[in-house]
Amino acid sequence: MDLQSKILKRTAKVGIVGMGYVGLPLAVEIAKVGYPVLGIDTDKNKVRLINLGKSFIEDVSSEELLPLILSKKILTYDNYRICKNCDIINICVPTPFTKSKDPDVSYIVNAGEEIAKHLKPRQLIILRSTTYPETTEKVLQPILERTGLKAGKDFYLSFAPERIDPGNRTFTTKTTPVVVGGVTNTCTKLSELFYNQFVDKVIAVSNPRVAEMSKLLENIFRSVNIALVNELALMCERMGNIDVWEVIEAAKSKPFGYMPFYPGPGIGGHCILIDPYYLAWKAREYDFHSNFIELAAQVNENMPFKVVDRLFEVFGEQCVCAKTASLFIVGAAFKKNVGDTRHSPAIKVMQLLADKVKNISYNDPYVPVLKINEKTYKSEKLTAKTLKKADCVLILTDHNLYDAKFILQHSRLILDTRNLIKTRGSKKVYTLGLK
């Protein structure tokens, strides 16, 4: 039976390399429509949890996962040997950057090399990891073609970027459109046919480079606009009599030509922080310097340092001595209503403060334990007593679970970087973007 028939009959065996924030939700959606899913992850503990039906991410509940495990619709392994049984393989591995902000595609390279050991004719390989343009064709394709098999002729190769927004209940793996570009027209059509079986909408583009660049554009758009409002917030602080949050609310009343973005202690997550550097690195290969994009990334990365500076300004105004102070941090995740701490600006702020403030504690209902500078912190209950004993409360993540009135009522001093406490005029509340 050819691959097209297997896709339409939903008998194709689907491999997913990397069963994390991207791979696990993808596995669930594919298994729900009937395909047998073979997960692959080198983290043995992760494999063990999945095979027990226990989810470790917010976007997939254990109640949703367990029936698929019990019915053996999803089987997960800690090695690549199972690739030889797969008709389709999705690569969902991390793409971090190095200390010097260069792309690290070693996970893609390693996955490609392992898949190549088991590559067979008529397999469809789809790269989903966010990366710079030409990765699919100039990094992954040559690795796979060392087998002697040729992409587009003997096997099929495409790029379809993940668009996961952790914690988003409206736009999920199923309801968020998928962009796909193959190295040949046949590669694109087979990938489009496959994703159409379990995703509401698929957009086919002319090649992998367009798909790769489209993902970077989405995230760099956010990076640039967040940097803009972060700079405006700092400008409003300098001017001293303009509330940036009020400015944004006024601006967003315009029904066209404007989209609101909000300042904060920095940006986090896997993509928005990293993607500008991926594109800037690739652009230099073509003697193109993306100054605007890199500047926006730098503005956002500087925000945790600005928050620390602002905190010490507040300490100075309120005669609080950092060496003896007790600081209670509200929120550790990189965004509201999730437990994802990847590149969280809250963690960066805590790292910067660890040796400067005597006593630091935190609360985050989604993040029970943190390790900062080799020291382990446990989330403390957010109670009246906890708030009252702190010399200052620093709000870094605005989870919906937080009661702003309760925090305001029981805190002696507050620095709010997320506009959770919307009360203005109180002498004990300081807000990022207003001085």
Q: Catalytic site residues?
A: 271
Cα(243)–Cα(398) distance, rounded to whole angstroms? 18
**Which one-letter DSSP state was computed for residue 379?**
P
- Residue 76 CA to residue 262 CA, distance in Å, equals 40
Contacts of 401 (CB under 8 A, 6+ apart): 337, 365
* Encoded tokens for 140: 């992954």
| Pairing, β 156-159 against β 359-363 | unpaired
CA distances from 173 to 28, 224, 315 (A): 9, 25, 45
DSSP state of 7: H
